[in-house]
Chains A and B, each alone.
Chain A
């Protein structure tokens, strides 16, 4: 496949460089990229955060602040016309008329105070000379094309009255409303659940085929690209490192980075095997302080195995409910059940994964175990005894690692203080003792021990997650609850964190309760899986069995919706 643009190109970017001007530094976001999209093509642009893929997309419509950016060289043309030299008036015509965008977060992309009706009219009537009646008919048709059943209701609804998937359908309908030649979709399904994602991607593809519209799909998810795109460009640090037909690039990657990226995916790898990580030299700055895992056994020397065969932790009819309505005196009179009579058990040294989509109650369940929300019914047993009846020290053997490493570390505290905070409860160890412990913990989680004086904002996302894991390990936990620990991270960093978790489990015989919506990750790390749906556990069993031969209807839907490289090629 060559990168030579044919005259029929809808979009043509030629050797484009773009710099962001900071107060006293210049960041080279794009370093000379060339790409083209032909009529009716679906082209993927893949890369991790900071690779420049969103910048490329925004620059097509000149949506970046002009005073803060500089374009040293290169050209961008849409339908043969140069966008970079175009006046604001012509740009208005291109935006929404010839090129339209779909953003990641439909809640912020739609105006919350206007009905869908007004927002669609706004777009349609700006670019087409038609009456309101015609615009209404057109809008309803577009919504119907998006497989929306009750088009009238959606048409007259405010964005907050619609679900995330429905909002994204409206966004796509609006994007198609003026018959654009090119649609730029920037991570259109990243904020959505897997089952919804599958529907949205199919819709996007179908409509593009039917209307012969070109699509530029920007994503970090290789499986989505494999399923949807004809061609793909791989971006890395502001450069395009590989391009070609999707099948070639993913099947026979040539560039070292593409290969590393594919190897970092847990999909198709032997469960519990250590994933290859993108070489530290390649992702410098992303996770460069990560040292090889060296474990100081003195820190955790005291751990005792609870006993083979018996469950370390059990949930018996665990039920969590939140008050929904209050009476005049402020007492709750009706409840919403988030977790509905859940029965689960975890044996020492093993991983139980809870899989489910947003709102299924998996995080509420995790919060109830660590005591952040009370149990309405049922019992949580740890080492054969009700968790509540244990003393504080034993209760602390159950620790949690949160999803978002941005919010889980106090931005004002140095690393050593964050990691050793649990050790100061009821005791006051000296500063030096704490710093030494922190240095040990740093080594344990693969961070440079000399980093203990740094503040959280000096670390990358993956490193912050290591600090959070280190904090949990400081109190010698036996059960670690991992609430979506990798979903905020890039693929290559995710691989490193998964490897770390597997190493730690092997060394200390830790038990994990791994909460995730990512089936590939779950398949990789867990021994047992519980599938949750609307507060209930609908299926449990050995990971391989549940994920490969699902019995319950919901599990099957979930498995079918997950985009995989394998299935993309089979099709």
Chain B
């Protein structure tokens, strides 16, 4: 219980002294130390935010940041090294600028992963809530279906589906979107089931609150924090899945600058031009690390605010 006395020095000057902060009101560090922001910030969150903002800027303003046309090659300037002939990160086997291609690939991969992720979120949350709400045939069917889907190796299924429905952005997004929602369903189902056991949900039911109002008023807000976290982690997973499919030649159409395609092209020139491998591989690693950091950051934020645990 909180009825211990918290020893606190009196007055703002004493507080500042006790915290070892400067008394200069213009000192931004002192102000930061006293501010609420400090409670919610740590180095992880700062790094994640910087990387994330950089990625968003690249994705949105990519067209202005490309130094070359990503599709246009210059056969006179094949395999340029980084910095050579105004190629920032070098050029590939057709003399195309790797930097510009990486930026273009970012846009393609991000758009694909984001759309698929939103579809995943929607399907997984809906099914998870439906299954958690009430015991009965709906729960049985949804859970069995989820188990079945999860028991297949995801990439193999995705390969089969893509081979059948064909290449391109839309088929790829829908394949990922319709197959990869299992993690959302599982987490939502588990958390929602526990929320449905709480007394405040019982009290709402006794007061006659409708099932829909309970679902959107109590249960969905209760799983929201977790949804943000999975959304970030899953985003990283989808980025990898998209790159893997493209690498295998069944994701993005050939020739489109995506990270997976770039990796696939680099295979033949591995020894001659390692930059062709390093640029897209580095981009994937950075993007995945960023999304994981963002996920961790959201998780620790929601813990600090005491909402995801104080329930």
Interfacial residues, chain A to chain B (CB-CB below 8 A): 20, 23-29, 49-50, 52, 237-238, 283-286, 370-372, 392, 395-396, 399-400, 402, 404, 407-412, 418, 421-422, 424-426, 457, 460-461, 468, 471-472, 475
C-alpha spacing A400/B201, complex, angstroms:
12
B4 engages A422 (CB within 8 Å): no
Beyond A411-B310, A412-B222, is A27–B207 a contact (Cβ under 8 Å)?
no
Chain A nearest Cβ from B137, distance in angstroms: 9
A424 engages B209 (CB within 8 Å): yes
A421 engages B4 (CB within 8 Å): no
Q: List 16 A-B contacts (CB under 8 A).
A: A25-B8, A50-B1, A52-B4, A237-B4, A285-B3, A371-B206, A372-B202, A395-B208, A396-B207, A400-B202, A409-B200, A418-B200, A425-B207, A425-B208, A457-B310, A475-B207
Q: Which residue of A lies closest to B34 (CB)?
A: A24
- A460 contacts across to B, CB distance below 8 A: 1-3
Chain A nearest Cβ from B307, distance in angstroms: 6
A411 engages B208 (CB within 8 Å): no
A422 engages B209 (CB within 8 Å): yes
C-alpha spacing A52/B5, complex, angstroms:
12
Q: Which residue of B lies closest to A370 (CB)?
A: B206
Cβ-based interface call for B165 (8 A): no
C-alpha spacing A238/B3, complex, angstroms:
10
Per the CB 8 Å criterion, the residue count for chain B at the interface is 31
C-alpha spacing A370/B213, complex, angstroms:
19
Chain B nearest Cβ from A179, distance in angstroms: 36
Query: Dominant SS at the A interface?
Result: loop
Interface residues of B in 153-184 (CB under 8 A from A): none
B206 engages A407 (CB within 8 Å): no
Beyond A49-B1, A286-B3, A407-B198, is A372–B207 a contact (Cβ under 8 Å)?
no
- B4 contacts across to A, CB distance below 8 A: 20, 27-29, 50, 52, 237-238
Cβ-based interface call for B210 (8 A): yes
- A468 contacts across to B, CB distance below 8 A: 203
Q: Which residue of B lies closest to A417 (CB)?
A: B217
Interface flags, B216-233, vs A, CB<8A=1, else 0? 011001100000000000
Chain A nearest Cβ from B303, distance in angstroms: 13
Chain A nearest Cβ from B42, distance in angstroms: 11
C-alpha spacing A341/B302, complex, angstroms:
48
Interface residues of B in 1-53 (CB under 8 A from A): 1-8, 19, 39
A402 engages B199 (CB within 8 Å): yes
Contact of A411 among B203, B213, B307 (CB under 8 A): B307
Contact of A400 among B5, B206, B209 (CB under 8 A): B206
Q: Which residue of A lies closest to B222 (CB)?
A: A412
Cβ-based interface call for B306 (8 A): yes
- A49 contacts across to B, CB distance below 8 A: 1
Chain A nearest Cβ from B127, distance in angstroms: 21
Q: A26-B6, A29-B4 are in contact. List 18 more A-B contacts (CB 8 A).
A: A49-B1, A50-B2, A237-B4, A285-B2, A370-B206, A372-B205, A392-B208, A399-B207, A402-B199, A408-B203, A409-B200, A410-B222, A411-B307, A422-B209, A457-B310, A460-B2, A461-B1, A475-B207
C-alpha spacing A372/B200, complex, angstroms:
13
C-alpha spacing A396/B208, complex, angstroms:
8
Chain A nearest Cβ from B147, distance in angstroms: 17
Chain A nearest Cβ from B283, distance in angstroms: 37
Cβ-based interface call for B76 (8 A): no
Cβ-based interface call for B54 (8 A): no
Chain B nearest Cβ from A553, distance in angstroms: 35
